[in-house]
Structure 1
Amino acid sequence: MSLRTAYPALLAALLFGASTPLAKALTGAVSPLLLAGLLYLGSGFGLALVLAVRRLWRQHASPSDEIGIPRADWPWLLGAILAGGVAGPALLMTGLVTTNAASASLLLNVEGVLTAVIAWVVFKENADRQIVLGMIAIVAGGLLLSWQPGSLQMSVGALLIVGACLCWAVDNNLTRKVSSNDALLLACLKGLAAGLCNTMLALGQGASMPSLAVGAGAMMVGFAGYGVSLALFVVGLRVLGTARTGAYFSVAPLFGVLIAFVIWPEVPSVAFWIAAGLMALGVWLHLRERHEHEHMHEPLDHTHAHRHDEHHRHTHDFPWDGREPHRHPHHHEVMVHKHPHYPDVHHRHSH
């Protein structure tokens, strides 16, 4: 696997990791649940503005380039929104009431594990020993990074946080089912839904809106750390599959700690360097993966941005100006060949 293939997921982790210390600086001025709502609203409204600007820029584009989500994909997307944007944050915020921050940080590492397990067991995504070992190394680094002696306390609150991780794992796997669609549009819809839900829930519990400066700051952090990050995460799902994208995204806490050191300078502990080493080992194991065998592509109809490579040898039933990549509904014929590949949108076959 090349670094170029992995960079969307790694950049998504960097942006999300950076949002954590920046959001932490705002926690004293706004309630946690309302902050979550503002972060998601920032992602949703920010991406909506980007989509509007892009639409104006492409006002003379072919009708085939118009974005949209096929009717068959809406159940998967709604399931992802309900699991990750509604149930997950609600369970997390409820669990945090009775769980200390150190325990919560440790438990949040469960999301990566559950994401991979669901991908491998339920959706039959392929994984060899190297990928499994890489996931273990990354998760072990995350656990070490957030570990504090005597911090892990299993309680009802802790179980609620694990439930939130399960919701986000389900969200990740369901989003993979629709990842061939426009990444900006998917991230925008998820951000708006999650933002409205969390904001209304927070206001219903008596939270007060923060000052204009704090609210605007939270939404700007949300645009980059939740909106752009989620769009890149969707691209990762499209080209890498769920487990591998989830593994790369699990290094987000490392980026968060590094940025926190810049904002609040301190000497990194020995545990930090060990955790960084474990995560680097995990990423290296994933990057050196080479999965190659003869495989058959079943007939497939879908829509996504593409170039006319070996998987896209089709004609067009509309005027085409030769611009690539472009996006339109297209059909894949049966094909049997052999080449290195990952469980992307064209390689979701069994082994």
Structure 2
Amino acid sequence: MKHSHSHLWPGVPLALSSALLFGASAPFAKLLLGSVPPQLLAGVLYLGAGAGLAIVHGGRAALGIPAPEAPLRRHDLPWLAAVVLFGGFAGPLLLMLGLAHTSAASGSLLLNLEGLATMLIAWMVFRENVDRRLITGAFAILAGAAVVSWRGEGVRLDAGAALIAAACVAWGIDNNLTRKLSSVDPVVTAAVKGLAAGSVNVALALLLGAHVPPLATLGMAAFVGFLGVGVSLVLFMLALRHLGAARTGAYFSLAPFIGALIAVTLLGEPVTAQLIAAGLLMGVGLWLHLAERHEHEHLHKAMEHEHVHVHDAHHQHEHEGRVTEPHSHRHSHEPLRHSHPHYPDLHHQHNHT
């Protein structure tokens, strides 16, 4: 069967758009740290994301705009709780604490470790297919992170860098667990995650005596959170459907370049030789990921699941009456063997020898 569009579409543009928004949020968060304590800022960013997406979802329903996405089910709740814990609570808190002890440019580039952590966990724990090109690209990204941490006597991670690295591991776990939820409505999932994680962080910050900044500052933080966390997460979840966790994490590695560029231009941080070398290495790694083409004959086993879809090569089932596309319902897949470029998406979970 022929496929009418590139295997890069729409997964790669979705992942890169997610990276653009998240990368831009890091230097703006750094600016806000001057007037908002780290844990309170982490909470407000996620509350802004959750509240903004809740408004989007409510407006969608109020305006009668159809939402063909699959709803959250009871069996999704344990995965959602784990995602909130690792990605909504631990990750942003560790990042804010780390940014408070390092420069925004270095912090933004170190965020590349999230893509590496995501890929390693996807490969080693969830057995997602990772080829030689992807591994080579990951080592290039790791080398770039090592260069940006170089202090003349070897690679030395200070407290800020170590906290950012820990945040990346937490988000690597989060990204792989989020894949379990990638078939359901990403707006609802991201809204729940933002509201739950944000509420916990804000409550803890206030209990620990954090001062409350002016409403204008809180509003600015919430807006940064809506775009850089909320909308970015929705795009990331949509990319997971098409690319799998390892590759989505790899494309997401563009985020630190965006953050570093904004930090240099907006905050006036210096452009050092280390920054340039790290950027080149990370750019090579990103290019290797973008140039990947995975194609072979493969077998789709019989399966049954629920997600939004159109009647393409992988969805050839019957309906009673007239239906509109895209739509979502529980449906079955018959065994199918064919060959085309693909990624480990919802329908390509086969083994490789």
Map residues 307-326 of structure 1 onto 2, 5 A cutoff.
307-317=310-320, 319-320=322-323, 322=324, 324-326=325-327
Matched position secondary structure for 1:294: strand
Among 24, 40, 60, the alignment partner of 1:34 is 40
**Which residue number corresponds to residue 193 of structure 1?**
196
Matched position secondary structure for 1:202: helix
**Which residue number corresponds to residue 4 of structure 2?**
none
CA distance in 2, matches of 1:305, 1:65: 6
8 A Cα contact 1:109 1:143, kept in partner: no
Q: Give the C-alpha shift of residue 122 in structure 1.
A: 1.1
TM-score (norm 1): 0.88
**Which residue number corresponds to residue 14 of structure 1?**
20
Identity of aligned residues (%): 51
CA distance in 2, matches of 1:197, 1:150: 40
Question: Alpha carbon RMSD of aligned pairs, Å?
Answer: 2.8
8 A Cα contact 1:139 1:250, kept in partner: no
Map residues 33-182 of structure 1 onto 2, 5 A cutoff.
33-58=39-64, 61=66, 65=68, 67-90=70-93, 96=98, 100-101=101-102, 108-145=111-148, 147-149=150-152, 153=156, 162-182=165-185
8 A Cα contact 2:242 2:344, kept in partner: yes
Among 246, 259, 262, the alignment partner of 1:259 is 262
CA distance in 2, matches of 1:329, 1:248: 30
CA shift in 2, pair 1:318/1:197, >3 Å: farther
CA shift in 2, pair 1:92/1:225, >3 Å: closer
Matched position secondary structure for 2:137: helix
Among 30, 44, 47, the alignment partner of 1:24 is 30
8 A Cα contact 1:138 1:247, kept in partner: no
Q: Give the C-alpha shift of residue 158 in structure 1.
A: 7.0
C-alpha offsets along residues 255-288 of structure 1, whole Å, 9 cap, x if unaligned?
Answer: 0111223323466333333333223222221122
In the alignment, structure 2 segments of 5+ residues that lack a partner are 1-6
**1:330 equivalent in alignment to 2:331:** yes
C-alpha offsets along residues 214-266 of structure 1, whole Å, 9 cap, x if unaligned?
Answer: 00000000000000011111112111111111111122111011122332346
C-alpha offsets along residues 324-346 of structure 1, whole Å, 9 cap, x if unaligned?
Answer: 32222222122111111101111
**Which residue number corresponds to residue 236 of structure 2?**
233
Matched position secondary structure for 2:32: coil
8 A Cα contact 1:145 1:254, kept in partner: no
C-alpha offsets along residues 34-76 of structure 1, whole Å, 9 cap, x if unaligned?
Answer: 01100000000001111111112335x4xx8375112222222
Q: What is the identity, as a one-letter code, of the residue corresponding to 2:24?
A: A
Among 231, 244, 251, the alignment partner of 1:248 is 251
8 A Cα contact 1:112 1:139, kept in partner: no
TM-score (norm 2): 0.87
CA distance in 1, matches of 2:166, 2:266: 32
8 A Cα contact 1:119 1:173, kept in partner: yes
C-alpha offsets along residues 12-43 of structure 1, whole Å, 9 cap, x if unaligned?
Answer: 11111111111111111110110110000000
8 A Cα contact 1:105 1:146, kept in partner: no
CA shift in 2, pair 1:347/1:67, >3 Å: closer
CA shift in 2, pair 1:65/1:155, >3 Å: closer
**1:205 equivalent in alignment to 2:208:** yes
CA distance in 2, matches of 1:75, 1:135: 30
In the alignment, structure 1 segments of 5+ residues that lack a partner are none
C-alpha offsets along residues 115-174 of structure 1, whole Å, 9 cap, x if unaligned?
Answer: 211100111100110111122223333443465556965688876655443322211111
